[in-house]
């Protein structure tokens, strides 16, 4: 099968289109003939050698796909050959075929395209697990998401807004801020020109943010603590500015804050299946009703994966990048 090989770690140029062995579905797995694959920040981190796949997972990049079921392993009950699905993979998405545990597969909601469907699993699994499961965001609460124009950010804004939260977001340009507000943010904050702590405090009459989703880290860590409301929950899922900082922990105690974080890929198949079940019952109807829309910045054929990674690393996009096969 055609797939993207990673013969060494490094910049985008190390990736190569190659002929690699086609996987076979193990018991409980489905083999997907891939139509499209989402491109995500963890792919870049793995390409650089800092995010190894979990034991037994494919070393090929790619954490989400859409396509048709090509074969099923022993014990698979729900899916049959020919079904159109999207899936959270454990690796292997940048290829013509990938094997995925059946519980990590979902039907393609409504009438959205295969390209759109490929943008759903990684971001929606991540946002649901961290914002709603871990941080327990509820209707009426105040939610702040950093990196609002990213794939995670655009998903978090739409989902939190549709489920009744007041949403604030940070982004790096007026155009990106406008996009965040069109997706449901009450106020988007240009972090190059404004202090998000001050803006959120003023907009909420001093209450602050009940839940904060942060992918930046670094100097944002202490500022998140400053802007968090009493009993606030702060979730880190990445540290683009670094994870090692000196922080005054006294406000954490005084405001009864919860600081947490997680990574999705190493979690068990059972946990991922539970997240998939929650998404299908609570989120997929919103997509089918047209209340949440996949945000695609660009798509490239598989053989142009180098250009896709360069565009994602540039930070000049709103939403997701997709590889098509």
Cα gap 269→250, rounded to integer Å = 38
pLDDT one digit per residue (tens) for the chain, 325 residues? 999 999 999 999 999 999 999 999 999 999 999 999 999 999 999 999 999 999 999 999 999 999 999 999 999 999 999 999 999 999 999 999 999 999 999 999 988 999 999 999 999 999 999 999 999 999 999 999 999 999 999 999 999 999 999 999 999 999 999 999 999 999 999 999 999 999 999 999 999 999 999 999 999 999 999 999 999 999 999 998 888 999 999 999 999 999 999 999 999 999 999 999 999 999 999 999 999 999 999 999 999 999 999 999 999 999 999 999 9
Task: Identify the CATH class of 2-120+265-324.
Answer: alpha beta
Q: Regarding beta strands 296-301 and 320-324, do their DSSP bridges make them parallel or antiparallel, or are they unpaired?
A: parallel
The DSSP letter of residue 303 is G
Q: For residue 312, what are the CA distances in angstroms to 28, 41, 226?
A: 33, 8, 30
Task: Round to whole Å and give the CA distance between 57 and 16.
Answer: 20
CATH number of 124-261: 3.40.50.720
**Across the chain, which distance is largest between two alpha carbons, in Å?**
59
CA distance 107 to 275: 14
Give domain limits for the chain: 2-120+265-324, 124-261
Helix (H/G/I), strand (E/B), else coil: 117 = helix
């Amino acid at each position: 099968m055609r797939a993207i090989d990673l013969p060494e770690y490094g910049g985008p140029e190390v990736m190569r289109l190659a002929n690699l062995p086609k996987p076979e579905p193990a018991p409980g797995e489905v083999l997907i003939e891939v139509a499209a694959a989402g491109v995500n920040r963890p792919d870049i981190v793995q390409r650089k050698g800092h995010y190894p796949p979990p034991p037994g997972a494919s070393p090929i990049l790619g954490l989400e796909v859409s396509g048709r079921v090509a074969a099923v392993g022993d014990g698979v009950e729900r899916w049959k050959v020919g079904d159109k699905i999207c899936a959270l993979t454990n690796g292997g998405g940048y290829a013509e075929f990938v094997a995925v545990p059946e519980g990590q597969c979902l039907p393609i909601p409504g009438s959205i395209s295969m390209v759109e469907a490929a943008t759903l699993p990684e971001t929606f699994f991540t946002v649901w697990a961290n914002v709603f499961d871990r941080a327990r965001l509820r209707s009426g609460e105040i939610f702040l998401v950093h990196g609002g124009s990213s794939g995670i950010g655009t998903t978090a804004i739409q989902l939190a807004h549709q489920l009744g939260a007041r949403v604030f977001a940070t982004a790096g340009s007026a155009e990106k801020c406008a996009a965040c507000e069109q997706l449901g943010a009450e106020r988007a904050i240009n972090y190059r020109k404004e202090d998000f702590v001050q803006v959120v405090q003023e907009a909420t009459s001093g209450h602050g943010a009940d839940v904060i989703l942060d992918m930046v880290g670094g100097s944002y860590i202490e500022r998140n603590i400053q802007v968090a409301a009493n009993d606030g929950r702060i979730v880190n899922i990445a540290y683009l500015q670094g994870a090692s900082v000196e922080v005054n922990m006294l406000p954490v105690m005084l405001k009864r804050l919860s600081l947490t974080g997680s990574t999705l890929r190493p979690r068990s198949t059972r946990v991922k299946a539970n997240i998939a079940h929650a998404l299908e019952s609570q989120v997929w109807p919103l997509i089918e009703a047209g209340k949440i829309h996949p945000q695609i910045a660009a798509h490239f054929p598989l053989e142009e994966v180098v250009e896709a990674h360069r565009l994602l690393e540039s930070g000049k996009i709103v939403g997701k990048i997709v590889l098509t096969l």
